[in-house]
Each structure stands twice: as C-alpha cells, then as structure tokens.
Chains A and B, each alone.
Chain A
Amino acid sequence: MGQATEEVLSKKDNQARPVLDIKGLMVDFTTYAGVVKALDGVILDVKKGEALGLVGESGCGKSVTAATIEGLLPDNAHVVGGEVLLGEDDLLKKSKSDMRKIRVNDVAIVFQDPMTFLNPVLTIGTQLTEVIDMEEGIVDKEALKVLEEEGKPKPPTTGGNASGKPWKPTRSLRKKALRRLATQALSKVGLPDPDRIFDEYPHELSGGMRQRCMIAMAIARNPVLFIADEITTALDVTMQAQILDLLRALRRDFESSILIITHDLGVVASICDKVSVMYAGSVVETADIREIFANPLHPYTQGLLKAVPKVMGEKELDSIPGSVPDLIYPPAGCRFHPRCQYAWDLCAKEKPPHIETAPRHWVECHLYKEMKTSG
C-alpha cells in the first residue's frame, strides 16, 4: 500500500469509529481455471446511521465483499489480506461459532431473489419465528404480555416458581407469543393481512411480498449493520419503489447502518448518503451522494454516469469501451487502465493508492493527488 493511503487511513481512525470498516481486503478464489483474484484491496466504511451504496458492474466483487462480511465465503475462497472491522472486532479473525453469533445479532443480509432464497417447504411463519426466537428473552416477555391481556394470572417473575426454577411459558403460549411478534414484524414491513401470510408458503406470495418477508427476517433482530444485496434487481419498477420507501422508513425508525449493493444508480440516488464505486475488486471512488453525481473524479465513475440514459437527450448512449477484465490474469497496475482514456505508463505499472483528494472524497487514480491538510 502506498504511504499516502496509510496516512489517510490513520486519519480516519481519529474520527468517530465507523460501524463497518474494511481495510485493504484481498480475497482469492481457487478454481479449475486458475486463481481468481476477486478482491484486490477493498477499502470502505459505513458510519452509524449511514446508508452506503456499493455500486459496480456484475463481477466487480460487490457480493464477495458482502459474503466476507457475513462470513459466508465458500470453501474455495481464501482471504489473503486486510481487515474487516465491525466496531472494534476484526471479523476475519473470528471463529466460526463467533461469526454465527455475529450473524444473529449484528449483521443481517437480504438477498436478491426471494424465490430461491426462501425455503419452499416451510411457511413464512416458521422462517420468521426462527429468527425471532434467537433473541434471548424476547419470547418470554411477549408471553407475559399475552397473559396480561388475556387476564390470566401472572406467574412470579422473581424467585421462581415452586420448584425454584425460573418461569417458562408453555408451548402453546410460546407459539402465541411468537406469532404475535412475527405478525408485528410483518406489518412493520408494510404487509397487509400479516396473519394470513404467516401461514403461507413462499410460492403463494408475489415477488414484492416475498422480498418484504426477507426484510422482516432481517430487521427482526435489530442488527447493527444491514446489508442489502441487489434486493431490487429482481423486482419491477413499482415494487422497487415500494421497497425503497420501506427501507427509507426503516432507516428513520431504526437508525441502523445500511450497506446497499446494487448496480442501479437510480436506487443509489434515492436512498444513499454515500457511494462507493467498485471496479474489478477494488473501490475506485467514494464520496457523498451529491458530490459523486456533481463531481465524479475517477474515469470509470465518469463513464458510468455518462452511460445512464437521460430522458431529455437524444444523443447516443456512451458506453465504456472494452470489457470487464479477466480476474485470473488481471491487468497490471491499475485494473482499469486498459479501458481508460487518460491512462499513461504509470497506470500500467503501479496500482494507485487510495487517497482523499477532496474533503470526504476518496479516489484510487494516478490523476489525482492527496489533498493538502493543514500542516
């Protein structure tokens, strides 16, 4: 890593600690055809309450990054460098059982295609309540509420019952309590008639409703970090808009930090505070949302924004020449240089460092210099 990048990273440390902080993550995949160097030094962070959009073409490594955060990389993947900090903990150093607990409490992920991601032989209710049930004590509390509402006598909450053990609700009481909690979660995500949906199977619902169920499963555990991996891609435009409204509402209500992975700039524009643009395994530009649309610095970002069809213009669609590089034999130096109109010899030799070239605007490109901070 360049010296400049190191300085920037240490500056970041001095500010409020971000919820998610990925430093130089490098991940390889071993396949029959060769070693795929999927992630080549990813640097990004998400602050508390912030919504970060992670944008890029298919294959640039967005989902691999998400999988690494969740600890769900397949067996042929190897993390060869970097850190993934959730608060103060490096997730890469965690054991499997610790990662599982983190998945329960801290990080929730919602996936792209709810049809394949929901278990077809289990009802929505079952799949939702198993998430709710992971949180300690929540069912018991709800069970007490149920008893209260039904006017039944409350068991002693201190000192235990006759045999000295703490009170546990009966099976039917638990079922009732779980059902209530689940239907509450379902209505929170805007589903009408949650009671009916509780008993239905995934294939009986529409795509948008299934997606909402998945979101319900994610928010049910009040995660610190919420990852949305292409969640609107499989939906039509109306459903997309509804889901985005939902996310905005949830952001307001829950203050969780969101990492939105998408290739759709429109989605990004409607909900994110900050954007990180990924290309071929690294984050090439990061900036606040207005800044990145107003002042894109990296040639790739510029190309992306130009490629979005405008309603008013009749000009041809500008596309970025060339194609996505082969990650088994990636280009040397900056991975974008073969397609870049500004490239020169340095670009083919050295990978550009991750520098802050303007206030809260980071770029990985030799065109730019580190911004001068007051000495």
Chain B
Amino acid sequence: MKNLSIKEINKGLANKDFSAVEITESFLAVIKEKDKEINGFLEVNERLAKEQAVLVDEKIKQGEKIEILAGVPFAVKDAILAEGFKCTAGSRILENYQAPYDATVVKKLRAQIAIILGKTNLDEFTMGSSTEHSAFKITKNPRDLTRVPGGSSGGSAAAVAAGECVFSLGSDTGGSIRQPASFCGIVGLKPTYGAVSRYGLIAHASSLDVIGPLAKNVDDVEIVFNAMKGKDEKDSTSSDYQLPATNYQLNNVIIGAPKEYFGEGLEKGTKEIIEGAIKKAERAGAKIEEISLPYSRYALPCYYIISTCEASANLARFDGIKYGLSKSAENLFDVYCQSRGAGFGKEVQRRIMLGTFALSSGYYDAYYLKAQKVRALIKQDFDRAFEKVNFIFTPVSPFLAFKVGEKIDDPLKMYLSDIMTVPISLAGLPALSLPAGDDNGLPVGLQIIGKPFDEQGIFQIAKFLE
C-alpha cells in the first residue's frame, strides 16, 4: 500500500477495495518497522490516527462523498502546530510544548479528514541543511543510512522516501523543502511567498518563510498544495491571487538555464544529470535559452544577513516566561538569559547572535539595509529573465547528500548547501524539486522555478519530465 498515490487511495476507498483504517495501519506498521533506523519522526500518535480513519470509514459506509485527501496518512514538520501533538521545533526550549491550536494548513487538511500520523524531525527552529541540528535525534537518508536527508525538513523528506507516509508538510526559508526533497529523491514544492498561510508555523524569517508539501510524485504535491493555498485572515501576507489558467506543454515553453548556476562548485555528476534533464526537455520541443542572473552570486551572504536578523527578532519570544523551558533565577533578566542559554542549541544561538549584531546600533545600514538592497538586485535579475522565459531550470544542490557529521562543525560549509535555493527564496518565487536521476546511487534534484503564483505551470511542466 505504501506506493499508492493520493488519487489511487481515494479511488480504492470509494470502491471499498480497502478501508481507511487498513491504510492507516499499514503506514503505522512501516513506521514501526523502519523508523528505528531512519529517525524521521519525533512523535507518532496511533490512537489519534486510527480515530480519524474510523471517521472516514464511517462516512464511506453511510454513502457520503469523501474529499480527495480523506483517509490519506501524512506527517507534519515539527515546526507546524497540530493539536494533540507537541510542537518542539526540534529544540530543548520547546521540548514539552503542547500545540494549543492547529496551524491553518493543518486545519484545512484535517477538514478533509486527512490522517496525521505524527510530527517529523527538523533542524532546530528550521535552521540548518542536514537535520543534524535537531536537539533530539539525527535523521538518516533512506537512500543511504550513512548520509543526511538534508534539511531543515529532513524528517518530512525521509518519512516520504521511506514509505512511512503518503505526503508530508515542510517549511522552506532558504531551501528547507527543496534540498531535502533532492537529497531523498522525492518531489518538494516551495510555493510562492504568500500563496500558503503561515499561521501556526513557528517563525524563522518572516519575509522568507513558506509552508509546502513533499510527496513521491508531482500529482500528489499538486493536490496537497491546492488544498492548503489561499488567503487566511490570520496571515496578512497570504493571498488568493491566481494567474490565468495556462496550458504549458514542453513544445510551447521557453526554459532559461542561468549560466551562473552551472559553474564552479557544482559537482560533475550533478551537472551532467541536470544538463541531461534540460536536453530531454529540448528534445521534447522546449526552447532552451542561456540566461544570466549575475547577482545570484551574492545571494548567500544576503540571505544569511536577512534571515538571521529576522530570526533574532522572531526568537525573542522564547523568553522562559510564557511557555517552554524556564530557568529560575534571581531576577527577570537572568531568567531570560539562562532559559535561552540552556534551551537553544549552538546553531540557533549563533544565528541569534549574528542577527542581533547586524541589527545593533551602528551596524544596521552596513548589514541589514545593504542586504535588502542586494536583495532588490537579485529579484530584478529574475524579473528580467522572466520577461524572456517561462521557467528557469537549475540544480537544487551543488552536491549530493553528504555524510552524517561531514559539515556539522563548520557553519559556513553547511551554509553553502543553500547556494542554489536561497536566491529563489529572496525573490519570493515558487520552485519545485524534481528527481532528475541518480549519481552513484544518490538522487539529484532538478529545480524548476516559475513566475510568482505560477505553481500550476510548474506542475504541468514537471509532469512531462517526471
């Protein structure tokens, strides 16, 4: 059952080929069997999952029509609130924090009676590219257990790749859905900034954060995205904006290949596979145009200034006063410092310090303001490119899934994992990671970037290349 698509599950349930309880139990069994070595999940709730499945089976028994996601088992990154579960953000500071309400995306999926199996592991507060920065466990890549699954949505990607759930939810600030999808050989979508409500997502960097789906195929990702998108009063950046319907075929599109993304630092095997995917599109009739995105080379420092500044402000709320870990101390100031000193891990502390420094008196113009101006130039590059092309193809990651422990002691080395995903985040664009082939048995993801709110176009093109 673990290879069924969402549509196949929906059809099978309606035809009574199997029940929602059976589906749910089969995925729970995979988790029991495999998650001891994968470590994708931080929490699984069998009772809650089965209760939901019974509701779906009841509806079918009564002859009621069920929604497309009814009875479909999924997992949620542990930075997204879901009632009935803890929400730890992978951090000691929230180790025992119970989600008091549902994130909007979870509420929408639960309204269809999709089945939440559990919460998945992540880099603490979504800060990292390997899931090794989780305070609780190290998730392994199902394709090679000595390697990382990528991050920060590593648990969500590994759970899908291991067949422990049909789809999962992740969040992407600088590549946290796309890169783990690429490392684990599955499909992951970073939606346009604003396309999906972030209400109930623990904030990392507010001008960049988005929530998106991960699944085994493009069709499943599309179904979940369509179920989650849209305006939400509780997130004022969310939007109902829609582009006019398109009918993209490979023989009526122009695809841009930015030369800056195929140069130095890109592994040979990855380069060949991505160029192969572009050739494949060309043979099917797509027009390929070499383009230039010259400011993308500044995207990484730009991203790490902006994201750490915003994170330092967002994480000020974890103060040991209202919830989470609280250290008792002589005075209020010491309660703050000691709770945060004990509760946050090294990478989170590093980023809070960086952001605090960059925003401090005398440095604001040199760092945050400067980075926002560079961000404008990066965005301008993409705007110009999209005047000529419909989509842009690049690799997701310059290298394959790396070994556990390989980059953990060198923050800059770890940051370089994001070099091809952060420019798209800074520009607020939608992008999909699509498996394009294997190099030495490890998956390589193609990044398909679209115009703002052109997720439907991305899905149409991705299905031709799947």
Chains A and B bind each other: no
